[in-house]
């Protein structure tokens, strides 16, 4: 098995995210994570929320790292990665009580973000919630100088990357039958946004 990959930011942000998720996911039995990255969030959150099953997903090239973290953590409630790429073919037929994703919306193109919201609305059971963590703009404005610098770095790496506007995400959510439920301010000018699919689905 490969060495454990490390994304240092996960150690800095995981406890603030966890505090919010412990409330949002208190009645959930299953969570599907989009873009699990190294798998460090998955094992940290699953260990702290033993009442739910954490389903990981990633691009195929990142599966070995997630499997290595799963092996190291040896938890009964983390499932091996499913191949999921927003914008690609989605072969997942299961539904989940919640979907979680961290730091993915600014990596995906805006078209892929749109596909993610469409997929999330199908992956969620009626009444399910979507929790999305990351940096977000407000009405087209950066919320901090550090986010502006971060955005500039992203766009110079790849022009389709960039910090997304919360209002645009709300429009994508609404277009897929979900409504903003709550939002949490997080350290380092990040936020956790939560949308809910109605119990009586309209999509
Ligand atoms: C910045 S990393 C965040 C990883 C992890 N969630 C975290 O917070 O440490 C972004 C992740 O999104 C994944 N990703 C990129 N494009 C994607 C897409 N179209 N659909 C799903 N995941 C994607 C990448 O493979 C990468 O692991």
How far apart (Å, rounded) are the C-alpha atoms in residues 166 and 136?
6
3 state SS of 41 = helix
- 201 found inside a domain: no
For 24-67, the pLDDT digits (tens) are 999 999 999 999 999 999 999 999 999 999 999 999 999 999 99
- 203 found inside a domain: no
- 3 found inside a domain: no
- 1 found inside a domain: no
Q: Is the pLDDT of residue 128 over 60?
A: yes
How far apart (Å, rounded) are the C-alpha atoms in residues 120 and 78?
19
Instruction: Give the per-residue pLDDT at 91.
Output: 87
Which structural domain, as residue segments, surrounds residue 175?
A: 8-196
Residues 162, 155: contact at Cβ < 8 Å?
yes
Instruction: Give the per-residue pLDDT at 203.
Output: 53
Instruction: Give the per-residue pLDDT at 3.
Output: 82
- What mean pLDDT comes out for the span 122-137? 98
Kindly report the CATH number assigned to the domain that includes residue 69.
3.40.50.150
Q: Which atom of ligand 1 is nearest to the CA of 7?
A: 9
Domain count of the chain? 1
Nearest residue (CA) to ligand 1, atom 24: 35
- 27 found inside a domain: yes
- 154 found inside a domain: yes
Q: Is the pLDDT of residue 201 over 60?
A: no
- Can you name the residues that pair with 32 across neighbouring β-strands? 55, 99
Residues within a 6 A CB radius of ligand 1: 7, 10, 34-37, 41, 58-59, 62, 84-87, 102-104, 107-108, 112
- 106 found inside a domain: yes
For 150-173, the pLDDT digits (tens) are 999 999 999 999 999 999 999 999
């Amino acid at each position: 098995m490969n060495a454990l990959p490390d994304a240092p930011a996960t150690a800095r942000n995981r406890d603030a995210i966890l505090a919010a998720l412990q409330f949002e996911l208190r009645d959930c039995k299953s969570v599907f994570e989009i873009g699990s990255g190294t798998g460090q969030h998955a094992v940290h959150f699953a260990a702290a929320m033993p009442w739910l099953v954490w389903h990981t997903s990633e691009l195929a090239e990142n599966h070995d790292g997630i499997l290595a973290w799963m092996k190291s953590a040896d938890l009964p409630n983390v499932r091996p990665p499913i191949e999921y790429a927003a914008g690609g073919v989605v072969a997942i037929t299961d539904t989940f009580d919640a979907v979680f994703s961290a730091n993915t919306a600014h990596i995906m193109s805006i078209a892929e973000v749109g596909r993610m919201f469409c997929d999330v609305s199908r992956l969620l059971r009626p009444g399910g919630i979507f929790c999305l963590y990351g940096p977000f703009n407000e009405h087209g404005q950066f919320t901090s100088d550090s986010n502006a610098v971060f955005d500039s770095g992203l766009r110079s790496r790849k022009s389709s990357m960039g910090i997304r506007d919360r209002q645009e995400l709300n429009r994508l959510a609404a277009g897929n039958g979900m409504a903003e439920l709550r939002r949490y301010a997080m350290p380092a000018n990040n936020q956790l946004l939560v949308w809910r699919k109605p119990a009586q689905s309209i999509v």
